[in-house]
Structure 1
Amino acid sequence: MSSPRTRVAIIGSGNIGTDLMIKILRLSKTLEMGAFVGIDPESDGLKRAERMGVPITAGGIDGLVAMEGFKDIEIVFDATSAGAHKRHNDILKSHGKTVIDLTPAAIGPYVVPPVNGEANLDQQNLNMVTCGGQATIPMVAAVSRITRVRYAEIVASISSRSAGPGTRANIDEFTETTSAAIVQVGGAEQGKAIIVLNPAEPPLIMRDTVYCLADPADTAAIEASIEEMVKEVQSYVPGYRLKQKVQFDTIPADAPIRVPNSDEMASGLKVTVFLEVEGAAHYLPSYAGNLDIMTSAALRTAERIVETRAAKAAA
């Protein structure tokens, strides 16, 4: 006899919340949708949830707390905005709920599943960084586990069509949160993040570029580390892949370059990684890989929380 699934709620009926709901309904063997929450009763996400038999409310966080089944919900995903998340978290914390934050609010520790996914599963609030962070931080970490990374810079390019109002409202938080996570999770000494909303038609697939200024090291070892990390990400985001071979450029000691945002001059090894992320098209088309990698990472994290709790209970 199978054990009961853990009931979860999603706050935010936009692109990210709706895609995550569909993933839980279609893919998860341990999670069950207990509530889908929005503020616009006419939103496509709420209407879709209702058609799929998921309990809904258009009353926001207050509507969620008032729902009959709220007491049975253990994990709440917040897919709204960084500004709204603080109040949401305060309320959910007072009710003893575990919160997985898909906004750049960064109240809880940063979580990137293949890098530090097992480290913070007992925390009340876990932050999923950003879509760009989920795609690129594993590559920075893959380099930093081989050699010191003095500086890492990432450029995330996504289709304008896959950037909803929540994403657009959080551009500043995106850059700040991703830059901090490049250091705290990726292991670089300094980090910088840039996001590009590409209006091209037809829409282009998510593309990411990662630049690392590293100490000299065995390039074959770095490349192997990167390829191994790509496979780890592909275990939950099948459309994640290297666009071309990793590039290496030597910066000689007699011709150093200036490290961005500092007066330091440095030589060493420049590592460049080109990625693309194709989405699973659970809600938006496959070009929206930025949506897919964020929701896939959140789903993976919630399932690991449930599995860890079950293992502890059985011990």
Structure 2
Amino acid sequence: MNDNSRIPVAIIGSGNIGTDLMIKVLRNARHLRMAAMVGIDPQSDGLARAARMGVATTAEGIDGLLGLPGFAAIGIAFDATSAGAHARHNAALQAHGVQVIDLTPAAIGPYVVPVVNLDAHLDAPNLNMVTCGGQATIPIVRAVSRVAKVGYAEIVASIASKSAGPGTRANIDEFTETTSRAIVEVGGAAHGKAIIVLNPAEPPLMMRDTVYCLVGLDADCAAIDASVRRMVAEVAAYVPGYRLKQHVQFERIDGERRIQVPGLGAVQGLKVTVLLEVEGAAHYLPAYSGNLDIMTSAALATAERMAARRLATA
């Protein structure tokens, strides 16, 4: 580990997300170097691929990582396991001063969406990447909230059932809770709600996301439309398959047409609807797995900025 131009990184979790992230680091990273791939299944494809690509591996989990000869040089670790396991992983890594990027919904550290608030958290010891639905939709909520007051925002993330592995399925409750909170804390909505749909269609469909925002009746539609389109372009800079599916839609809800929102009662306002599609880059996973691709792409973009900052101040 004598390459001082890149920060050595480890990935904990040799499943679909961890393996896709590893390939992205190996192919696309400018400031990062793969130092270790960590799993708990000696037969996992992720560990086998890492070994073939010359990356140090261990099938002994976090304890195995701590025991690797090159562990002391690792500056950043990605956790792509589960919310339940993350607390122990984080505690072990923090004890050694390793900065952690959390791809689970554990939410120990601040919620981070690269295009929205990464600059404010570059030095945080633990950064949480929210969820796949959060990475896809919170930028849109933020795009609307920066030009209009968002009283309520609701997102619906629809992903192919085949792209939802055991980790995703085990964390459904955490997904909805974490995403709902981040819609408010990062997106800027006064109230937020998140829904995830596992679509069993064959052939599998790409990730589709719908964002609903309720703003004041006097909001500027042209300003909202322009803000959303700017944000889509910013996200697409690191997630090339991220795109609008239709023009931004507006609907006036007033008078007797008020809608019932749980917890808020009958409300009125301008309803903004944004329809998105996320196509994966197919580095390791099928193109329909945009839900996984946006997580690994966002995590890579976050780590690259963190590493660039470290290298610039070294």
Give TM-score, length-normalised by structure 1: 0.97
1:50 matched to which residue of 2? 51
Instruction: Give the match for residue 27 of structure 2.
Output: 26
* Per-residue deviation, residues 239-277 of structure 1 (Å, max 9, x unmatched): 0000001110001145322232233x3211000000000
Deviation at 1:149, TM superposition (A): 0.5
Q: Which residue of 2 aligns with 1:179?
A: 180
Cα distance in structure 2, aligned partners of 1:115 and 1:250: 28
Deviation, structure 1 residue 160: 1.2
Aligned residue number for residue 261 of structure 1:
263
Partner of 2:6: 5
Do the aligned residues in 1 keep the contact of 2:8 with 2:75 (CA within 8 Å)?
yes
Per the alignment, in what secondary structure is the counterpart of residue 120 of structure 2? coil
Matched residue of 1:36: which SS? strand
Task: Tell me, yes or no, if the aligned pair for 1:253 and 1:266 is still in contact at 8 Å.
Answer: no
- Which residue matches 2:237? 235
2:209·2:275 contact (CA, 8 Å) conserved in 1? yes
CA contact (8 A) 1:253 1:268 kept: no
1:209-256 CA-to-partner distances (Å, cap 9, x unmatched) read 001111131101100000000000010001000000111000114532
Say whether residues 1:136 and 2:137 are aligned partners: yes
Q: CA deviation at 1:3?
A: 4.9
Identical amino acids, percent of aligned pairs: 71
Answering whether residue 290 of structure 2 is matched by residue 252 of structure 1, we say: no
Q: Tell me the CA shift for residue 307 of structure 1.
A: 1.3
For residue 233 of structure 1, give the secondary structure of its aligned residue in structure 2. Answer: helix
The match for 1:295 is 296
Whole-angstrom distance in 2 between the partners of 1:199 and 1:78 = 28
- Residues paired across the two proteins, number: 311
Q: Which amino acid aligns with 1:310?
A: L
Answer yes or no: is the 8 Å Cα contact 1:149–1:189 preserved in 2: yes
The whole-number CA distance in structure 2 between the counterparts of 1:44 and 1:310 is 32
Which runs of structure 2 are paired with 1:265-280 in the superposition (5 Å)? 265-280=266-281
SS of 1:118 mapped into structure 2? helix
From 224, 228, 245, the equivalent of 2:226 is 224
Match of 2:61 in 1: 60
For residues 50-199 of structure 1, what are the structure 2 equivalents within 5 Å?
Answer: 50-199=51-200
Q: CA deviation at 1:132?
A: 0.4
Q: Which moved more, 1:304-313 or 1:73-82?
A: 304-313
Q: Matched residues in 2 for 1:51 and 1:311: separation?
A: 32
Asked whether the 8 Å contact 2:5–2:311 carries over to 1, the reply is: no
Q: Which amino acid in 2 is paired with 1:57?
A: T
Q: Secondary structure at the match of 1:137?
A: helix
Structure 2 CA distance for aligned equivalents of residues 44 and 168 of structure 1: 20
Residues in 1 aligned to 2:19 and 2:165: alpha-carbon distance in whole angstroms: 12
Q: Aligned partners of 1:311 and 1:53: how far apart in 2?
A: 28
Q: Secondary structure at the match of 1:106?
A: coil
1:41 and 2:42 aligned: yes
Distance across 1 between alignment mates of 2:108 and 2:257: 42
